[in-house]
């Protein structure tokens, strides 16, 4: 990841890339343009579950290797509350955004890479940038 930018990546982005869903080449270019990507360990569990279900578990480590894991040392209550002030999300999506806020309390345009529209809308409301 040679670029200068850092980002948070959620499971939907990585799954789309791994399974070459429509537009995956653009996602790959976006990821390669980053210096570093971060995520919650929830991504690992979600991604490995999908990889197992789809019979590609042996390829999964290559997709997870570039991720730097965020390991909060406390509950994410303040961040969860902050996300919920902007709207509703399911638990996993909420956890990803709360974890991103834990690492980046003032996102100021840092990318939050997701293909989930509801999650992207709340990420933008919190100050994250989406996928151009």
Q: What is the pLDDT of residue 2?
A: 42
Structural domain boundaries in the chain: 5-126
pLDDT tens for residues 31-82? 999 999 999 999 999 999 999 999 999 999 999 999 999 999 999 999 999 9
Q: Hey, what CATH topology would domain 5-126 get?
A: Rossmann fold (3.40.50)
What is the mean pLDDT of the segment spanning 71-96?
Answer: 97
Closest CA to 101 of 1, 93, 34, 30: 93
Extract long-range pairs of 73-81: CB within 8 Å, 24+ residues apart. Answer: 76/101, 76/102
Q: Is 37 helix (H, G, I), strand (E, B) or coil?
A: strand
Beta strands in 57-110 (DSSP E): 67-70
Question: Tokens 């994250």 sit at which residue?
Answer: 128
């Amino acid at each position: 990841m040679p670029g200068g930018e850092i980002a948070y990546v959620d499971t939907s982005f990585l799954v789309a890339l791994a399974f070459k869903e429509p537009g995956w080449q653009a996602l790959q270019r976006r990821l390669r343009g980053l210096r570093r990507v971060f995520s919650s360990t929830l991504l690992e569990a979600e991604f490995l579950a999908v990889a197992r279900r789809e019979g590609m578990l042996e390829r999964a480590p290559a997709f997870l290797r570039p991720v730097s894991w965020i390991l909060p040392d406390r509950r994410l209550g303040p961040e969860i509350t902050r996300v919920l002030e902007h709207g509703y999300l399911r638990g996993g999506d909420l956890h990803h955004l709360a974890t991103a806020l834990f690492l980046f309390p003032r996102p100021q345009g840092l990318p939050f890479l997701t293909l989930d529209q509801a999650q992207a809308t709340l990420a933008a409301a919190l100050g994250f940038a989406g996928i151009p």
